[in-house]
Amino acid sequence: QLDRIIIHQQVELLEAILGTETSSKYEIKNHLGQRVYFAVEENGCFDRNLCSPIRSFTIRIADNAGREVITVNRPLRCNSCWFPCFLQEV
């Protein structure tokens, strides 16, 4: 049972050097710092680099055995990345 979690984003060397965004990966740990889940964000390069704060994405969360336990989907909620007209929803 988890009463709190700690989420660490894994920064890739290419992302740090070039300043571009790649697909994000996260370790989800318990209060003792032990990894209990692993998450990967799926989306396109265009979304990550041009629509970053309002981009659409799917995050797949898996346990340590690699079994997917949660899928989080956030659709793009605007007509254009430049003119958002709806609030985001997950």
Q: Is residue 46 part of a domain?
A: yes
**Residue 89 identity (one-letter amino acid):** E
Say if 81 falls within a structural domain: no
What gap in Å lies between CA 39 and CA 69, rounded to an integer?
Answer: 10
Contact 42, 26 (CB under 8 A): no
Whole-model pTM? 0.70
13-47 pLDDT, tens digit per residue, is: 766 666 666 678 999 999 999 999 999 988 766 66
Instruction: Tell me whether residue 44 is in a domain.
Output: yes
63, two tokens:
């346990």
Mean pLDDT, all residues of the chain: 79
77 within 8 A of 47, measured Cβ to Cβ: no
Is 84 part of any domain? no
Nearest CA to 38 out of 68, 72, 79 is that of: 68
Question: Domain tally for the chain?
Answer: 1
Q: Mean pLDDT across the stretch 66-78?
A: 86
- Domain extent for 53: 6-74
What is the pLDDT at residue 80? 58
